[in-house]
Amino acid sequence: MSKLSFGARTSWMLAAGAVLIAFAAATGHHVASFLVTAAKAQAAGQDSVLRGAIDIHAHLDPDGYGPGANGRSIDVLDLAELAEAAGMRGFVIKQHYDQTADSAYLVRKLYPNLEVFGGIGTNFATGGLNPHAIRQMADVKGGWGRIVWMPTWDAEHYVRNHGNDRDFISVADDGTLVPGVRSVIAAMAEVSGKTRGSSGSLVLATGHNEPEEVLLMVEEARGLGLQVVVTHPLLDSVGMNLEQMRRAVEMGAYLEFVSGFTRLPETIAEHVEVIGEIGPEHCIVSSDRGQGRGPEGDAGPMPTHLDGLVAAAEALRSNGFTERELDMMFKENPARLLGLPVH
């Protein structure tokens, strides 16, 4: 599809969305169901990048608001419907404050052709750096809980840099990982390859941590044979430079870039340059969508996960990335990360 027709359809949808949201507000109708219907209609002529894609970063209801009062735009069943209609291979339900292996089990019962996974955020709500929570996730029926995110919203780096005054979780002290991080990673290695019923492997995803902390965690997890992904290294919540990203890749980690980079010309340019330097074979593009409904610095409804992936693909394509390279970043590398066969 041409960029022009994509843009035209998107603006039509945004305009229609604004009208319907006003209508919904007046009548009490649910905006989310409109968004799902509109996105389904859009999916009819959807971008080929979605066919076989696995979104490893899908925020979805039911979820809590968390410290930033972040609502979610759609829920796990809504995304399953959209993903199936677009021919996606699957997605990973990311929640900062819960484990989602149980949601993944239930979605798979309704959508047996989708490969849906869960994970766990190691923030205060799950006991922080709590190896018992990791073992429990692996023991949930189906064994679909696969990604362990290191501290995000409650991480020291994140709390300090967002002007918050609340308790936080430290992952390293004086250049050394704290014992809690080591025991979480050790628990992951212990259950990896043995999740209940599906014998899945576990993946360490770094959190909202300082770059040097990220590298320590990558080293520890890779040393125990785990697959590792560095969560959005270019966002303010992490802030890695090229040399630090190269070190992570040299240790065998994937770098995950999230679709919000399409928001500004500067962030598109930055991502194009970094992915080009690092090489698409080491990169994964995910949506990080599902953020609360309402404005995101501009008027209009929030993009869905699918919209995010398509916008990211369009931006990369128009900056010279090939379909082969997009397949690596949206389809194959997410599969490899999760220990799945690559089609």
Please, which residue, 187 or 306, has the CB nearer to Zn ion? 306
Please, which residue, 208 or 222, has the CB nearer to Zn ion? 208
Please, which residue, 81 or 288, has the CB nearer to Zn ion? 288
In the complex, least distance from residue 4 CB atom to Zn ion, rounded to whole angstroms: 31
In the complex, least distance from residue 261 CB atom to Zn ion, rounded to whole angstroms: 13
Nearest to 56 by CA among 289, 275, 233, 250: 289
Q: Which residue is nearest to Zn ion (CB)?
A: 288
In the complex, least distance from residue 208 CB atom to Zn ion, rounded to whole angstroms: 9
CB of 338 closer than 8 Å to CB of 57: no
Please, which residue, 169 or 177, has the CB nearer to Zn ion? 169
In the complex, least distance from residue 282 CB atom to Zn ion, rounded to whole angstroms: 20
Residues between 217 and 236 that touch Zn ion (CB under 5 A): none
Residues between 283 and 302 that touch Zn ion (CB under 5 A): 288
Residues between 133 and 162 that touch Zn ion (CB under 5 A): none
In the complex, least distance from residue 13 CB atom to Zn ion, rounded to whole angstroms: 23
Please, which residue, 159 or 187, has the CB nearer to Zn ion? 159
Q: What would the x/- binding string for Zn ion be over residues 155 to 194, using CB under 5 A?
A: ----------------------------------------
Please, which residue, 187 or 285, has the CB nearer to Zn ion? 285
Please, which residue, 288 or 325, has the CB nearer to Zn ion? 288
Please, which residue, 103 or 192, has the CB nearer to Zn ion? 103
| Interface with Zn ion: number of residues (CB under 5 A) | 1
In the complex, least distance from residue 288 CB atom to Zn ion, rounded to whole angstroms: 4
Q: What are the C-alpha distances in Å from 238 to residues 33, 151, 260, 317, 343?
A: 34, 12, 15, 26, 32
Q: What are the C-alpha distances in Å from 233 to residues 207, 209, 271?
A: 9, 9, 10
Instruction: Determine the interface stretch with Zn ion among 17-25, 106-114, 130-138, 280-288 (rule: CB under 5 A).
Output: 280-288
Q: What would the x/- binding string for Zn ion be over residues 76 to 115, using CB under 5 A?
A: ----------------------------------------
In the complex, least distance from residue 147 CB atom to Zn ion, rounded to whole angstroms: 12
In the complex, least distance from residue 121 CB atom to Zn ion, rounded to whole angstroms: 10
Which residues contact Zn ion (rule: CB under 5 A)? 288
